[in-house]
Structure 1
Amino acid sequence: MIDEGYIPDNNPIKKIAPFLIVATAITCIFLTIYCLLAGINNIYSHLYYIPIILTAIFYPKKGTAFAILLGILFLFITFVVTKADPVLIAENFIRIIVFVALAYIVSKVSFHLREENLKYRNLIDSSGAASAILNDKGKIVHANSAFENITGRALKELKRMNWVSVFEDECRSTALILYRSSIKGEHQDKSNQDLIVRSRQGKEYNVLATIRHVRELGITLISLVDVTEKKNIENMIGAQKERYKKLFQESTEGIFIHNSDGRIFNANPEALRIAGMDLRELKNTNLKSIIPQEFHNAYKYAVRTDLEEGKTFKMEPWIKSKTGERIDLDLISVMVDKKTKVIQSITRDITIRKKNEKALGIAMKKLNLLSSITRHDILNHIMVAKANLVFAIEDTKDESIKSFLEKSVLAMDTIQHQIEFSRDYQDMGGNPPKWHKLDDVIDSCIKSQNLPPEISVQKKIQNIEIFADPMFEKVICNLIGNSIMHGGEISRISISTEEEYDSYNLIFEDDGKGIPEREKHIIFKAGYGRNHGFGLYLVSEILSITGASIRETGIENKGARFEIMFPKEDLRFEGHESRG
């Protein structure tokens, strides 16, 4: 509860109120007897107002009852002393009615004031803010628990100290100015200030201080709202903004801030360099006017789909600088605010990379041409050597020499097979990945592998497209060919898909004899197989170019089962965009 004494009606008189009431009541009784005996009938009755009013003020619930009892005693004394004088008894009876009415009115007023004061006290004590009350001398007379907690001091200690000392040294002058202004009724609109409170334990609190003077009660209210956490968050946000601003300004990549219509709001120095404009000029330019028309439709579609779904969009457009020079860009866009549709596009100048890629492509083309010519010549010479060896085998009658010649033919076959494999391997990764319609790939492989009519192919693939190396068709053809050559008596090949947490799996199964458990971990190594083949090794290498992988999970004598695991973004249903 609030310490009594800070509200004017709660003064030190209350401590001696019982004594005053009893003393004045007894005095009234004796004066009544004396005056009645002396024949004085007018003045003494007014003295009864003193104990009646004191009781009604300090004990409002008992004020009326006290007035009635005192009135009855007064009437009894009158009756006894005056020997039942009817006129005097009638006059005093009327006075008793006045006493009771006065006691009732004063009790009600006093009780109402006490209720208001109690509400006021409870309001301060239950306030979420740290609150204290100063008397007219500027001393703390009451403080709630929040004020005690934030200062680290109990109320008794707060009463003994100067109220302004709860603030940090540099804040005390500001607090005094607020206090004096409040006393004078000045600058009430500026009575809220950010100050620092230092607790007894040395902890600092950022507070929003409000000082209000209540002239009617002669008190001043101090309210402190702890905003330390808010200040820390503001400082953190400010630091993050500074870091972002520094990152934005010093980034080696161009950053454009624009809306979904291409209107540019901001750009960093690298973006200005790429665009060849200053910021003022760039703000008057639309992003669409910088990027060539051929990229507009793709970007417009990305805004409606990927960006509004919270995904990133990537493409590699090009622009022309003011000097007419072509600048190739790697552009990544993300929508940072869905409500305002503000987009951040990060661009990287990849002109040199594109030139290097072009030069590398030309060099690769020349190397492949040279390799092709060389390989063709080697294969021709191998054919000649094999023919001569075969002729020699047919002409010789010496079995030991024939054995050596046959081994030489086998060695020539191996060399020929490895050279033919190198033709396939050199093409891997030579061209960028693309989307393949899986249904078309399977149909093409069925034709090229001369699938026997007794083997059926079951396709459960629902218009699926796969993002993979251009040689992806060889993967499917190799698996079909592998089933035909090594599966034994098979009657069915099944191709389906399964979705996992982070991948889509393409499942290739047959009902042949399967692969022995001891060989599962080596079938994808180079040279595995009865014919020293490279088929499954080539399959694994082609898939790895785009991050896909393959494993065999079948059961021996029940059939082979190959699971090809693609990243989710590398598989889509025909007609749905996922990659740029």
Structure 2
Amino acid sequence: RGEKISPDRYPEIRQESGKLVAERYLPNFSAGRGVHLRLSATALVDAGGNVSGAIESIRDVTDQVMMQEALENANHRLNTLSGILRHDLSRRLAVLYGHLRLGVMKFNEPEVITFLAGIKEAANGIMRQIEISREYRDIGATPPAWIPVQSAFQSAVGRIEMGQVVFHPWTERLEVFSDPHLSTVFYHILHNAANSETGATRIIATYRICPDGCAIIIEDNGKGIEEPLKASLFVQREDSYGRGLFLANEILSITGMSIRETGIPGQGARFEICIPSEGYRVEGMF
């Protein structure tokens, strides 16, 4: 009584919210069709803190298991199909880019050059959508984990041509419980900020503890974002400054985080990622 369950001795048993839980498959049940069972036990403790009994339950979860397997199989097939489509589109775009390069070399008429530039811009838009769909494919496929924020920022910056823009992340001790694609969130925010059109020369990332959790703050010293544009920043868009922020918002929402823009137009953009109280930890703080 009161003995803790050893993961090495009973690897099939795990703890969930104070309960002991296990799943078993019994192949000879249900006329040989087999059943999936979920077993759980909750300890009953007396006034002295001693375990005096338990409440046990056994549930038939065969339908849920079959549904989960079907969903995983369908997801695998959809990912395979989308991968094939992305590959074929990328190949066809490569051919199109080749023809465009030849067209620019062959023709000198301004009208033709302008026409070719329009085609190239449309092709660039298609390529951006392919890249975003490739990133979106794996979102939610891997369980969330505790991720060091500083490392995620460093991973994101390594994918960006920052030019003359200086980036200072001051988040060394902070970890957040997030989908593994947290660096993709930072990538899209920093990529937009580093765009020459923003006029930014400096980006700073910090964090602060709030009454209801924690906030990661990413701000730059560029032109900022006009108030009428803020409402649509995190909806799906085809292009412009907000491209990719829809994807960032989707990744954050998986673990209950949210994002908003609170900058002052003319003084720079300022993004706040709001983390629930159970979704962050600071080394040495607790």
After superposition, residues 23-102 of structure 1 pair within 5 angstroms as none
AA matched with 1:514: G
Q: CA RMSD in A?
A: 3.8
Q: Of 526, 540, 552, which residue of structure 1 is paired with 2:236? A: 526
Q: Are residues 1:466 and 2:176 paired?
A: yes
Q: Are residues 1:558 and 2:263 paired?
A: no
Q: Are residues 1:457 and 2:162 paired?
A: no
Percent identical among aligned pairs is 30
AA matched with 1:455: V
SS at match of 1:448: coil
Alignment match, 2:250? 541
Counterparts in 2 of 1:562 and 1:402: CA distance versus 1, 3 Å: closer
Q: How much has 1:454 moved relative to structure 2?
A: 6.3
Separation of aligned partners in 2, 1:566 and 1:348: 35
Indicate if the aligned counterparts of 1:314 and 1:330 stay in contact, CA closer than 8 A.
no
After superposition, residues 285-300 of structure 1 pair within 5 angstroms as 293-294=10-11, 299=15
Alignment match, 1:440? 151
Separation of aligned partners in 2, 1:340 and 1:508: 48
SS at match of 2:84: helix
Counterparts in 2 of 1:421 and 1:555: CA distance versus 1, 3 Å: same
Q: How much has 1:320 moved relative to structure 2?
A: 5.8
Indicate if the aligned counterparts of 2:176 and 2:281 stay in contact, CA closer than 8 A.
yes
Unaligned runs of 5+ residues in structure 2 are none
Indicate if the aligned counterparts of 2:193 and 2:200 stay in contact, CA closer than 8 A.
no
Indicate if the aligned counterparts of 1:498 and 1:506 stay in contact, CA closer than 8 A.
no
Q: How much has 1:550 moved relative to structure 2?
A: 0.6
Indicate if the aligned counterparts of 2:260 and 2:271 stay in contact, CA closer than 8 A.
yes
Q: Are residues 1:363 and 2:80 paired?
A: no
Separation of aligned partners in 2, 1:384 and 1:349: 55
After superposition, residues 199-214 of structure 1 pair within 5 angstroms as none
Q: How much has 1:441 moved relative to structure 2?
A: 1.4
AA matched with 1:490: T
Alignment match, 1:12? none
Q: Of 186, 189, 192, which residue of structure 2 is paired with 1:476? A: 186
Counterparts in 2 of 1:568 and 1:347: CA distance versus 1, 3 Å: farther
AA matched with 1:423: R
Q: How much has 1:351 moved relative to structure 2?
A: 4.6
Q: How much has 1:538 moved relative to structure 2?
A: 0.9
Q: How much has 1:482 moved relative to structure 2?
A: 2.3
Separation of aligned partners in 1, 2:164 and 2:37: 52
Q: Are residues 1:570 and 2:279 paired?
A: yes
Q: How much has 1:347 moved relative to structure 2?
A: 6.5
SS at match of 1:317: strand
Separation of aligned partners in 1, 2:165 and 2:108: 46
> Normalization by structure 2: what TM-score?
0.78
Counterparts in 2 of 1:455 and 1:321: CA distance versus 1, 3 Å: same
Q: How much has 1:536 moved relative to structure 2?
A: 0.9
Greater strand share, 1 or 2? 2
Counterparts in 2 of 1:519 and 1:315: CA distance versus 1, 3 Å: farther
Counterparts in 2 of 1:492 and 1:428: CA distance versus 1, 3 Å: closer
After superposition, residues 240-279 of structure 1 pair within 5 angstroms as 260-261=2-3
Q: How much has 1:456 moved relative to structure 2?
A: 4.2
Indicate if the aligned counterparts of 1:330 and 1:349 stay in contact, CA closer than 8 A.
no
Separation of aligned partners in 2, 1:347 and 1:508: 49
Separation of aligned partners in 1, 2:39 and 2:180: 23
431-440 or 389-398, larger mean C-alpha shift: 389-398
Separation of aligned partners in 2, 1:316 and 1:480: 43
After superposition, residues 132-531 of structure 1 pair within 5 angstroms as 260-261=2-3, 293-294=10-11, 299=15, 312-313=17-18, 317-319=22-24, 327=36, 329=38, 339-341=48-50, 349-451=60-162, 455-460=166-171, 462=173, 464-485=174-195, 487-501=198-212, 503-527=213-237, 529-530=239-240
SS at match of 1:509: strand
Indicate if the aligned counterparts of 2:39 and 2:56 stay in contact, CA closer than 8 A.
no
AA matched with 2:235: K
SS at match of 2:158: helix
Q: How much has 1:399 moved relative to structure 2?
A: 4.4
Separation of aligned partners in 2, 1:442 and 1:330: 42
Indicate if the aligned counterparts of 1:523 and 1:529 stay in contact, CA closer than 8 A.
no
Separation of aligned partners in 1, 2:58 and 2:201: 54
Indicate if the aligned counterparts of 2:233 and 2:245 stay in contact, CA closer than 8 A.
yes
AA matched with 2:144: P
CA deviation string 1:59-107 (max 9, x = no partner): xxxxxxxxxxxxxxxxxxxxxxxxxxxxxxxxxxxxxxxxxxxxxxxxx
AA matched with 1:525: V
Unaligned runs of 5+ residues in structure 1 are 1-258, 263-287, 303-311
Greater helix share, 1 or 2? 1
AA matched with 1:443: Q
